[in-house]
Amino acid sequence: MTVLETVAALREWRRESTAKVFFVPTMGALHEGHAALVREARRLAGMEGRVAVSIFVNPLQFGPGEDLERYPRTLQADLALCTAAGADMVFAPAVNEVYFDDRSIKITESSLSRVLCGASRPGHFDGVCTVVAKLFNLVQPDEAVFGKKDYQQLAIIRRLVRDLDFPVAIHGMETVREADGLAMSSRNRYLNPDERAQAPALRRALLKALAEWRDGDSEAFSLEESVRDEIARTAPLARIDYVSCVDGGTLQPVDGSAGQRLAPRVIALAAFFGKTRLIDNIELPDD
């Protein structure tokens, strides 16, 4: 596996590549969820394609007071994971290799980022869009793989590709979970033992709402309240940021007063355990 640290080296690697490139962008601190994304890229690439991974803690997507400085950086372990999962190349640049000190242009998303995580993290998705656009320009992938755990991010990246005409096919992969249902996340390591014991309640609450949906409860407000009540009952350490039933494409809240089964729907949530903010979601299929 090739490890590159500079834009010049990456451009040279890309010029020499005649095969299709399948890309997995990450911020490092990789875990089995990331490994699954790389393995999926390897499967899509087959024997002929090439799998590229980026490891870059993007400062533009962290707001004031967030965990940029303490975000885990485990490059050597990350490289070992990428090798085992089948990556051909890892791009692991320093910040000053990606951004000029006097940078003055960024990409702003003005619709899908106004709700859910974007409502409580202003500017976060502008940072995501800016870095993903830069990485797409540098890596020039044919296809890219993202996880569905951050459903909002996936929807925004699909919109980025559509609106700016990036010739990149986007694949969304199901969330990889711990044995107790907790969505795998680099931030799970911040949880203390009591918080970690209660965190799977997020998934259980979403599954309870899914069961109610399948039993005929189509009211968004009712499903949201079910999730909130279940978390409050079983995870008293959790402080809910939001629980919202939204349209899976636009991310706009679903009108619960209509009493209609509109598909696709997604229930998305974010909750704090101490200072650690966790996200999860569940799709409500029209079945």
- Residue 225: is it exposed, middle or buried by C-beta count within 10 angstroms (0-12/13-18/19+)? middle
Q: How many CA atoms lie within 13 A of 8 on its CB side?
A: 0
Contact (Cβ atoms closer than 8 angstroms) between residue 279 and residue 150: yes
In the numeric block, which tokens belong to residue 65?
């007071």
Q: Is 31 a catalytic residue?
A: no
Cα separations (Å) of 266 from 153, 263, 274?
14, 9, 26
In the numeric block, which tokens belong to residue 194?
């009591």
Distance from C-alpha of 118 to C-alpha of 121, rounded to nearest angstrom: 5
Instruction: Write down how long the chain is.
Output: 287
Neighbours of 3 (CB within 10 A): 16
Contact (Cβ atoms closer than 8 angstroms) between residue 90 and residue 1: yes
Q: For residue 215, give the 3-state DSSP assignment.
A: coil
Residues noted as catalytic:
34
